[in-house]
Structures are given as structure tokens and as C-alpha cells.
Amino acid sequence: MRSSEQERFKRFVNESSPTLYRIALALTGGHHAAEDLIQDALARTFVRWTSVRGDPTAYVRRVMYHAQVSVWRRRSVVRELPADAAPEPADRRDDVGATDQRLALRQALLRLGPRQRAVLVARFFEDLSEQDTADVLGCSTGTVRSQTHRALARLREIAPELRNDPFTEEITR
């Protein structure tokens, strides 16, 4: 690979890392797993960088979704997810209610199946259309609709406290 392409890739990584990290965190549910997922996706993207056409963020996002679904498929037993022991940084100001709601939503998402979680992350976290979600996940728009419907019903069932809350209202409607 030419040095100009390597520089283009480095710029891409620097610019898109925060966005990719948020997506990976929502998909994996843990900081370390999110970092591993991003590293794996970027390594796979680097190998094919010269053939990536269009928006490279969309390409990496798709690699991340597929890699994470593969992890879920390989896992035969549900594993325990470690809790983050470190406190939030002191400079981060957040009201307690919103933090509680984010934690409740995160725990509820972790209890969903792999497809349902992937669909909700794509549709509501990334704000992708049904067609874009179908393209990213490699399925039909009908599958996206049905998985979204089932996932929202399951969220309402396992986390009724998320209803009527401004932070999660759009997701749990």
C-alpha cells in the first residue's frame, strides 16, 4: 500500500474512532470488548483499504456488525459481563437520573438476543433507516421490521421502568 493510502487510513481512524467506539460499546456492552471489536474491524479494513469504495465508516460499521454477530453465534453459553469498577471521571457532569436510565437501558440491551440488539443499535442508536439497517446487517427490510418489533416488545417486558422517560422514550415507544 502506498504511503498516501496509509495516511488516508490514519486520518480516517483518527476522525471516526469516537463514533466507532460508541457503536462498538452499544454492540458489545463492555469497554474492553468494544476496543477489541474496533481493533479487529480496523485491521480487516486496513487489509482491504484500497478496495473500499464509498463511505469507509459504513464499511467499518458493517465489518463490526458482522464480527459481533459471529461472536454471538459462536458463544454457546451466556457469559457474565464484568461491571466497570472504576468510577466515572470527575470532569464528567451528568445528572443521576439520566445515568440510571442509561445503565438500565444498557442492562436491558444486554438481555436481548444478538439480532435484536444489533437491529436496535442500528435503528435507534445510529439512527439508520430500515433499508440502511438491512444493508449493514445483510438481511431484508422485513427482517429488520420484525426484529425491531420483537426487540421493542422484549424491552418493554424486561425493563418497564424505561417507559415514559425522555432519555429512552424514542426506543421504548
| Inside any domain, residue 81 | no
| Inside any domain, residue 83 | no
C-alpha cell at 84: 466497570
Shared domain for 49 and 15, answered yes or no, is: yes
Shared domain for 69 and 106, answered yes or no, is: no
pLDDT in tens, the chain (173 residues): 688 889 999 999 999 999 999 999 888 888 998 999 999 999 999 999 988 888 899 899 999 988 887 766 665 444 555 555 555 555 555 555 566 777 777 888 888 888 888 899 889 888 889 999 998 888 899 999 999 999 988 888 888 877 765 545 555 55
| Inside any domain, residue 55 | yes
Q: For the chain, how many structural domains are there in total?
A: 2
Letter for the amino acid at 164? N
Shared domain for 100 and 166, answered yes or no, is: yes
Q: Which domain holds residue 145?
A: 96-172
pTM over 0.85: no
* Phi, psi (deg, nearest 5) at residue 103: -65, -40
Shared domain for 63 and 131, answered yes or no, is: no
Indicate which CATH number applies to the domain containing 58: 1.10.1740.10
| Inside any domain, residue 28 | yes
Shared domain for 102 and 69, answered yes or no, is: no
| Inside any domain, residue 85 | no
Indicate which CATH number applies to the domain containing 161: 1.10.10.10
Shared domain for 100 and 164, answered yes or no, is: yes
Using the structure block, give the residue that is written with the C-alpha cell 445503565: 103
Closest CA to 27 of 16, 17, 38: 38
How big is the CA angle at 32 (ends 30 and 37), to the nearest 5 degrees? 90
| Inside any domain, residue 84 | no
| Inside any domain, residue 48 | yes
